Structure 1
Amino acid sequence: MRMAFSSEWLKLRSVASTYYALGSAALMMLFGVGWTIYVSSLAEERGSLRAAAPEEGFLPLVQISLATIGVLAITSEHATGMIRASLTAVPSRGTLLLAKAAVVGGVTFVAAHVVLLVTYVAARLIAGDRQLGFNSTGFSDDLPLLFASGVSVTVLALVGLGLGAVTRSTAAAIVSVVAMLFVLPGIATYLPQPWNSRVASLMLPNLVPQIAGDRLSSRLGDGLLSPGVAFVALISYALVALAVGFYFLWRRDA
């Protein structure tokens, strides 16, 4: 297992796509600074306003950017045929997928939280004493949402890894991740009551605020989950995707 982990870590940090993905995620910090400067100038004219927190508004950018790390960790090997060499070096397909998941999960967890925290701190420093809405609470109150947001990025990266093992296609896996973030939550709102709120509460984008104890402005009604249940549901996305990915990796020839 240690050899497999070292091999996966070497592969991940030796390809340019990893740094492109990290760079795309880091754009959140620049966008967050630009957004805060913009709303701060508006606040000076109006006295105060309620603006979206940049670490929340630009979260999908980080999620999609780092999810590609999980996707490419396996689809790039299928595309180049390197998967055969990987399976020769690590005959157990379960060990191979677990090593990939550990490396992808560790890298995206650290990267996501660094980007989120830097964006959070920079936005509050720029906002200063201006009343922008998102800077009305302290760090201790915002920490659960920051943590849940970072975990959601890691979960999506692992979902991307699992879907990559299923589809063997970079495009198909990324489109599937995007659908989970933007398409399925929209479809859930068209379901009849009370199923729309119950299904919507299980959609990945809605789990992050529920973990932080946010009532989502009552949009979910009776479908609201407790923070603990929402956290389990979020982790389940990764576990199910990896389990399905392992099944397809196990059943197919390289």
Structure 2
Amino acid sequence: MSVLAAEWLKIRSVRSTYVILGISLATVLMGFALATMAAGAFDNAPPARRPDARISELEEAMVIVPQLCMGILGTLAVTSEYVTSLIRTSFTVVPRRWPVLGAKAVIVGTLGLLVGPVAVFGTYAVSRLAIGNRFSGAYTGPFIDKLPILVATGLTVPVFALLGLGLGALLRSAAAAIAVITGLVYVFPIIIGNIPEPWSERLGSIMIGGLPRQITGGSNDSSVYGSLLSPAAATAVLLAYAILPLLAAIWATQRRDV
């Protein structure tokens, strides 16, 4: 418990933590702004074009903001100590080393578990409020029908937090770890979307962005992601994104000088 308390003190004493959390939660305001703009565009469109107007699920599109933010938070939670050499002190006090990373994982994972659902459910709520029955009733369906995909989407945020922590400990470079996380969010999906089939479908099915709908038994037909995984397999892949880099980081940390 003393290691956990020490790591919590480190994270909450850094100003960047609050900036990152603030940006993550501001996703709700950004979602409301986009929903309001979409509603205005719908109202100003010619009546003949309104029945064909469509809108993507803003909560699924905007989740990349807290994903990226919490990935950065997880990265900085460990790489900042390498920059300041505080990691030497931490490992001297805790010679087994793995409890340090374990405590960091508990903290950033918990923060991600709080931020993710707030951002996703909040964005959905304000989007539903702003859009109303526009776009062929895209936001008028029963909330219970949306609950599974909202939960699955929200859970990707703590996964990014743990992924960032694992990559940061492995690479010991904030720039390198953040580059990998940014690639997972923005770059790799674009590249995979342009790869010939069947590899586009295969690789797209294991990308984080495509896992929530597969976890809920849905499909990604309207996106660059694939839909080849069963709900159980998609859940396992999502957990692997969080657990495997962290286990690799613990293994590497035990065998390096620092």
TM-score, length-scaled by structure 2: 0.90
Is the Cα contact below 8 Å between 1:52 and 1:133 reproduced in 2? no
Q: What are the residue-to-residue correspondences of 1:75-224 with 2, within 5 Å?
A: 75-131=79-135, 133-217=137-221, 224=228
What is aligned with 1:4?
A: 3
Distance 2:191 2:16 in 1: 32
Q: What are the residue-to-residue correspondences of 1:24-63 with 2, within 5 Å?
A: 24-46=23-45, 47-48=50-51, 49-63=53-67
SS of equivalent to 2:206: coil
Q: Could you tell me which amino acid in structure 1 is paired with residue 165 of structure 2?
A: L
Tell me how far 1:139 sits from its aligned partner.
1.5
Is the Cα contact below 8 Å between 1:55 and 1:120 reproduced in 2? yes
Distance 2:174 2:212 in 1: 26
Tell me how far 1:106 sits from its aligned partner.
0.3
Taking a change above 3 Å as real, the CA distance of residues 175 and 233 of structure 1, as seen in their structure-2 partners, is same
Taking a change above 3 Å as real, the CA distance of residues 58 and 219 of structure 1, as seen in their structure-2 partners, is closer
Say which is worse superposed, 142-151 or 163-172, in terms of deviation.
Answer: 142-151
User: What root-mean-square deviation, in Å, do the aligned CA atoms of Structure 1 and Structure 2 show?
Assistant: 2.0
Taking a change above 3 Å as real, the CA distance of residues 204 and 142 of structure 1, as seen in their structure-2 partners, is same
Tell me how far 1:39 sits from its aligned partner.
1.1
Taking a change above 3 Å as real, the CA distance of residues 72 and 181 of structure 1, as seen in their structure-2 partners, is same
Tell me how far 1:130 sits from its aligned partner.
3.0
Question: Identity across aligned pairs (percent)?
Answer: 38
Is the Cα contact below 8 Å between 1:159 and 1:237 reproduced in 2? yes
Is the Cα contact below 8 Å between 1:40 and 1:132 reproduced in 2? no
Is the Cα contact below 8 Å between 1:32 and 1:55 reproduced in 2? yes
Tell me how far 1:9 sits from its aligned partner.
1.3
Is the Cα contact below 8 Å between 1:51 and 1:133 reproduced in 2? no
TM-score, length-scaled by structure 1: 0.92
Taking a change above 3 Å as real, the CA distance of residues 117 and 190 of structure 1, as seen in their structure-2 partners, is closer
SS of equivalent to 1:217: coil
Taking a change above 3 Å as real, the CA distance of residues 213 and 90 of structure 1, as seen in their structure-2 partners, is same
Say which is worse superposed, 23-32 or 129-138, in terms of deviation.
Answer: 129-138
| Unaligned segments of structure 1, at least 5 residues | none
Is the Cα contact below 8 Å between 2:192 and 2:200 reproduced in 1? yes
| Unaligned segments of structure 2, at least 5 residues | none
Q: How many matched pairs?
A: 253
Is the Cα contact below 8 Å between 1:166 and 1:248 reproduced in 2? yes
Q: Could you tell me which amino acid in structure 2 is paired with residue 200 of structure 1?
A: G
CA shift digits 1:115-145 (9 cap, x unpaired): 2222211221222333465304222111111
Tell me how far 1:150 sits from its aligned partner.
1.5
Distance 1:29 1:153 in 2: 14
